[in-house]
Amino acid sequence: MATTADIRNGLCIEFNGDLYVITEFLHVKPGKGPAFIRTKLKNLKTGRVLENTFNSGVRIDVARVERRPYQFLYKEGAETYVFMHLETYEQLSIEESLISNPGLLKEGQQVEILYHVDTETPLTCELPAFVELLITSSEPGVKGDTATNATKRAIVETGAEVMVPLFINEGEKIKVDTRTNKYSERVKE
């Protein structure tokens, strides 16, 4: 058992019968009355975010979770993805709903799968913050159309669509932010 003093970003807790990750917190000490902690909690099953206020000193149930390194092998069927543990070489199939951004996942990619230690069940699959992908199709940029931050659609090797600046062409490698699905920079060879 922990208290509200142990609250930090990324902490996984059991709350109202479900597992939640703390995405944001703010310790508030008003001039009058007791201190409290305002939090934003993300449900690991549904992905829904809710706001909750804990009184200072209240006990919270910390869930035991573990991050394990895996490598994406292949997609099986419509919504099942197969991964291999990097140390034990065991294979694991998980549903698409557990993956943070499946459109940017390519074969051979290393990911981290968050496990609930008590039940040995996978909770989420997180890609690295940035991935390097090859652009397979993109319309050519129009010369002189750069007065503002103009962008165009590009399809990357995984089949996902990413908005890129006009100077990016087909056949180039780009770095994509997996949290926002946005272009970050061009990869220099």
Q: pLDDT tens, 52-111?
A: 999 988 899 998 889 899 999 999 888 899 999 999 999 999 998 888 888 899 899 999
Structure tokens at 186: 């061009």
Three-state secondary structure readout of the chain:
CEEHHHCCCCCEEEECCEEEEEEEEEEECCCCCCCEEEEEEEECCCCCEEEEEEECCCEEEECCEEEEEEEEEEEECCCEEEEEECCCCCEEEEEHHHECCHHHCCCCCEEEEEEECCCCEEEEEECCCEEEEEEEEECCCCCCCCCCCCEEEEEECCCCEEEEECCCCCCCEEEEECCCCEEEEECCC
Instruction: Give the pLDDT band of residue 37 (cuts 50, 70, 90).
Output: very high
- Look at residue 142 in the predicted model and tell me its pLDDT: 67
pTM equals: 0.77
pLDDT at 17 over 90: no
Domains of the chain from N-terminus onward? 2-62 (2.30.30.30), 65-126 (2.40.50.140), 130-186 (2.40.50.140)
Q: What is the dihedral of CA 81, 103, 51, 114, to 10 degrees?
A: 30
Structure tokens at 80: 């099942």
- Look at residue 121 in the predicted model and tell me its pLDDT: 87
Instruction: Give the pLDDT band of residue 25 (cuts 50, 70, 90).
Output: very high
pLDDT at 10 over 80: yes
CB-based contact 158:103 (threshold 8 Å): yes
Q: How far apart are the first and last CA of the chain?
A: 50
Q: pLDDT tens, 130-172?
A: 999 999 988 876 666 666 777 888 999 988 899 988 888 888 9
- Look at residue 165 in the predicted model and tell me its pLDDT: 87
